[in-house]
Amino acid sequence: MLGGEGILTPSDLPDLDTQRWRVLELVADGQWHLAPEIVEAAGGSEGLRRLRELRRIPFVAIERKRIEDRRLWAYRLRVIQQQKQFWD
């Protein structure tokens, strides 16, 4: 089992990939999305974890901002321009 006894089984992995793709489809528009919206898009309670996993994609940044004075956050995906090499 992955993640400890009773946490994840190998059969859970395809669902995790599906959740990550759902989150990517949502945030790929570059707009701000609230945390509950991301969780809903993932189809499970691990939506924000799937969002953090997107940081592993080269040239991608996940930005976060606080909504007013509440404990509510919004997130967006931003593509970072690849730096040109000196030989280009």
Mean pLDDT of 63-85: 82
Pull the structure tokens for residue 61: 């940044």
3-state secondary structure of 52: helix
Q: What's domain 13-79's architecture?
A: Orthogonal Bundle (1.10)
- Cβ contacts of 69 within 8 Å, gap of 6 or more: none
Domain segments of the chain: what residues?
A: 13-79
Using 50, 70 and 90 to split pLDDT, how confident is the model at 3? very low
Using 50, 70 and 90 to split pLDDT, how confident is the model at 88? low
- Cβ contacts of 52 within 8 Å, gap of 6 or more: 62
Using 50, 70 and 90 to split pLDDT, how confident is the model at 83? low
- pLDDT score, position 2: 37
Using 50, 70 and 90 to split pLDDT, how confident is the model at 15? low
With CA atoms as reference, report the closest residue to 75 among 31, 42, 43, 39: 31
Q: Is the pTM of this model over 0.85?
A: no
Length in residues, the chain: 88
